Structure 1
Amino acid sequence: MNAGTETDNRDTNVDVRIGAGGEPVLGPRETRVAEVVHACHAVSIDQGLETLAIPGLTRQTLEPVLQYCASLKCIEDQVTCPGCKRRTEVQGIETLDQFILSKKEIVVGDGRVRLKGEGTETIATPCLESLAKQWSGENYWFWARRVIRKLRHGLRRAHMKGEPVAGEGETPSVILMEPQLADNIGMVARACANFGLDDLRLVNPRDGWPNEKARIAASGANYVIDDARPFEKLEDSIADLNWIAATTARQRDMRKPVLTPEQAIAEARARIARGERCGILFGRERNGLETGEVANADALIMIPVNSRFASLNLAQAVLLLGYEWMRSDAGRSLGRVTTYEKPLNEGLYMGRDRPATKEELIGLFEHLERELEANGFFNPAHRKTVVSQNLRTLLTRMNATEQEVRTLRGIVATLAQGKGKARKGPSATP
């Protein structure tokens, strides 16, 4: 759309237009389209609209704004939004070095680290790691499409409720120390639901709580998200627990037991069986747990990993501990259980079949030996005993089912006597 043109929203004052800065904007404060997309994607749509507080922008008038971004109308208008990946592409910035040079200064963290460039704009970043991941911008058009789906159809799997598999205190609490990304919290919730860890605690989550973005990433583990409890301080989150194990990839100069996941879960199970309450503490995505936080733990958990690449994704770490918890549960099942699928355990899956009886196996042996002897297989004759023993050993090792024995006998009969045309002989005509 060209500068000054309006959408069908002219009576609501939320038409997308080209602002004074050459960016797609709307509303009296010239809010950028990218800001609208980000606000509604980061949390719920209603929370985003409340935060934006743009007169006339409601659920009913939001979609045309989102469509502008989702359909890349900005290409036609030859404009871009700050923070969008399209802007770095249009500017021809292909590397982090080029991005730094395009700025006047990049302030890192508290300002003690500053990166100087050749541009005119000054920006801030919480850390160099974040800069390395986010310098190229976000695909806002993709986010806009996701928000449109939420707007039209609601949250994916929002109908899935689920329920805890154990009573309060019967599983270890999963404690996340200052989680930075709502997506990671959602993926942790999914891992918890996979392995029956029902109590999720969040210490000072960066993006606040509750967070709709976490619910989306949880992919149906809604009851874990709904029951998750936020705390301002670590001490508050562990106040009711008797035993805490802290996960770490770094060696700590602290006189504490160092346990593998298997050992830690065994200790937690033993304590829970005695009526104690236990928890597992996981660190931040960026730099894990600080030494002062680890000092609150009774033990350390260190996972066997490649010593030269020891850092795990937060959800992966929770999943590993969750797997150990479920693996040691005597009542576990392999895979899902539904109305039509019964619980499974290790070993040969028989379905509706049954193992063959010795009578059925002996019948197969004798049938096969008769046909082999009739066709001169046992030659010389004195080798028959040894060959028969070998055949019986081989077929016994199969652990055949009753159906498999019948199938094998049908094969032997067909090969020996022929079937259909073969049984009538070579002179048979169609």
Structure 2
Amino acid sequence: MVAHEHTIDAAITRWSSVGLDRELLEEVLVYCAERRCEADRVTCPGCRLRTEKQGLKTLDDFAASHAEITFASSPVRLRGTGTRQGTAESLEHLARTWAGEEYWFWARRVIRKLRHGIRRADQTGEPVPNAGESPVVILVRPQLAENIGMVARAMANFGLEDLRLVEPRDGWPNEKARVAASGANFIIDGGQAYSTFKDALAGLHWVCATTARQRDLAKPVLTPEQAVSEMRRRLAEGQRCGILFGPERNGLETEEVANADAVMMAPVNPNFASLNLAQAVLLASYEWMKQAGGGTLGRVTTYEAPLQPGTRDRGSPPATKEELMAFFEHLERELEAQGFFNPPEKRPSMVQNMRTMFTRMGATEQEIRTLRGIVKTLVHAKRSGRRSP
């Protein structure tokens, strides 16, 4: 049992007096995760949706919506034109939190933990749908069961499914491998152990051997990209292919490499070419998925669409030019008050440099709000006589 399981169980126990159980908790979380509150025109205190519904785009707007905001750690008071009274730990804390939390995002995360179980070693995992035939991964005399599990995880990440083991030192099946697979148990469950190298090659038409050492053998030497391209061509013709990986300590013996049709070697630092077993398998597996074109950027769940390269992950929208210009004016006004533009004749070039710098960062709405909050906090600290640590 891991920490979040204890947290969920503790919360349910604490709230059981009001009738909360896992089923009801999931209903509440789904309501939040799917943002059904928008259709019902209701929001929760502290949620960013409430701030957005109120039309508050900046910390200035938020402060203006209150009659007064006081701070536990400062005599500073912010007075606005609203009727509400507000309190905060500090001005800095308010600048970070005034916009509210994305409760729906956290609800989605808790749902995943609630639905998909806690101990990944108990999960089965799933292969890539409609992936078709893939090469066999053959581990020759693997020494640690944990490494086999990490190999299975790498395979599952990138769409390889068929695992064969030659004389695994720790025996097979092995619970340590299952735990290390972190949920890739469909590969662990399907993995087959063989007593001889010859038996593990049964049914295969073309095999490449991975190695970091040059061998005195007349074999084609291929990069992972080239080797995967060759395997894809052969698989399309109905042939079965495999990739050989040697023991953790010394890799494949030359006699074993001699039985392969080609050698796969990755471009590496010539002064440090050794990869651990799972890393080597991951390199080949990644190339397989890349050429298949069936992967997504990161995990995709019920509530998340696949990302495209260059897309902001969960970021707020890009700042508008109006928001950017308002920030520039705010910053320049406060810098002017502090005598920053000295000598005065250099002010135009200094302003130009600052605007160029901030424009280049491609700031989001949230980042501009944060920057304005920082400026305001520094100014208030200066005016109230507080010294920076």
TM-score (norm 2): 0.54
Larger radius of gyration: 1
Residues in 2 aligned to 1:375 and 1:290: alpha-carbon distance in whole angstroms: 72
| 2:257 is the counterpart of 1:294 | yes
Q: What is the deviation of 1:199?
A: 1.0
Cα separation, partners in 2 of 1:371 and 1:314, compared to 1, 3 Å: closer
Listed as ranges, the matches of 1:118-133 within 5 Å are: none
| 2:242 is the counterpart of 1:279 | yes
Can you list the C-alpha shifts for 1:382-407, whole angstroms capped at 9, x where unaligned? 43332221121011122211122234
Comparing 344-353 with 401-410, greater Cα deviation is found at 344-353
2:317 matched residue in structure 1: 354
Residues in 2 aligned to 1:248 and 1:191: alpha-carbon distance in whole angstroms: 18
Residue 385 of structure 1, aligned match among 337, 345, 348:
348
Structure 2 gaps, min length 5 = 1-118
| 2:159 is the counterpart of 1:199 | no
CA contact (8 A) 2:153 2:182 kept: yes
Residues in 2 aligned to 1:175 and 1:356: alpha-carbon distance in whole angstroms: 51
Residues in 1 aligned to 2:274 and 2:181: alpha-carbon distance in whole angstroms: 22
| 2:179 is the counterpart of 1:188 | no
Listed as ranges, the matches of 1:24-173 within 5 Å are: 157-167=120-130, 169-173=132-136
Cα separation, partners in 2 of 1:316 and 1:409, compared to 1, 3 Å: closer
Query: What RMSD in Å do the two structures reach over aligned CA positions?
Result: 4.0
What's the secondary structure of 1:254's corresponding residue? Answer: coil
What's the secondary structure of 1:251's corresponding residue? Answer: coil
What's the secondary structure of 1:300's corresponding residue? Answer: strand
Between structures 1 and 2, the one with greater helix share = 2
1:248 matched residue in structure 2: 211
Residue 332 of structure 1, aligned match among 295, 298, 308:
295
1:222 matched residue in structure 2: 185
Residues in 2 aligned to 1:232 and 1:184: alpha-carbon distance in whole angstroms: 19
State the percentage of identical aligned residues: 67
What's the secondary structure of 2:362's corresponding residue? Answer: coil
Aligned residues: 268
CA contact (8 A) 1:166 1:198 kept: no
Cα separation, partners in 2 of 1:379 and 1:184, compared to 1, 3 Å: closer
2:223 matched residue in structure 1: 260
**Which residue type is aligned with residue 404 of structure 1?**
E
Residue 175 of structure 1, aligned match among 138, 158, 169:
138
What's the secondary structure of 1:246's corresponding residue? Answer: strand
What's the secondary structure of 1:197's corresponding residue? Answer: coil
**Which residue type is aligned with residue 149 of structure 2?**
G
Cα separation, partners in 2 of 1:266 and 1:362, compared to 1, 3 Å: farther
Residues in 2 aligned to 1:238 and 1:302: alpha-carbon distance in whole angstroms: 20
Can you list the C-alpha shifts for 1:153-200, whole angstroms capped at 9, x where unaligned? xxx755311121254654322012344554543343233234332111
Residues in 2 aligned to 1:353 and 1:298: alpha-carbon distance in whole angstroms: 52
| Higher RCO, Cα 8 Å, sep 6+ | 2
Q: What is the deviation of 1:281?
A: 1.0
Cα separation, partners in 2 of 1:283 and 1:358, compared to 1, 3 Å: same
Residues in 2 aligned to 1:314 and 1:326: alpha-carbon distance in whole angstroms: 19
Structure 1 gaps, min length 5 = 1-155, 426-430
Cα separation, partners in 2 of 1:180 and 1:341, compared to 1, 3 Å: same
Can you list the C-alpha shifts for 1:404-423, whole angstroms capped at 9, x where unaligned? 2234345556666x59x959
TM-score (norm 1): 0.50
Cα separation, partners in 2 of 1:354 and 1:330, compared to 1, 3 Å: farther
Residues in 2 aligned to 1:238 and 1:369: alpha-carbon distance in whole angstroms: 71
Cα separation, partners in 2 of 1:311 and 1:222, compared to 1, 3 Å: same
Residues in 2 aligned to 1:371 and 1:184: alpha-carbon distance in whole angstroms: 58
Residues in 1 aligned to 2:370 and 2:177: alpha-carbon distance in whole angstroms: 53
**Which residue type is aligned with residue 365 of structure 2?**
E
Comparing 183-192 with 231-240, greater Cα deviation is found at 231-240
CA contact (8 A) 2:131 2:159 kept: no
Cα separation, partners in 2 of 1:363 and 1:186, compared to 1, 3 Å: closer
Cα separation, partners in 2 of 1:376 and 1:253, compared to 1, 3 Å: closer
Residues in 1 aligned to 2:343 and 2:175: alpha-carbon distance in whole angstroms: 79
Cα separation, partners in 2 of 1:388 and 1:197, compared to 1, 3 Å: same
Can you list the C-alpha shifts for 1:78-112, whole angstroms capped at 9, x where unaligned? xxxxxxxxxxxxxxxxxxxxxxxxxxxxxxxxxxx
CA contact (8 A) 2:145 2:176 kept: yes
Residues in 2 aligned to 1:273 and 1:357: alpha-carbon distance in whole angstroms: 50
CA contact (8 A) 2:139 2:165 kept: yes
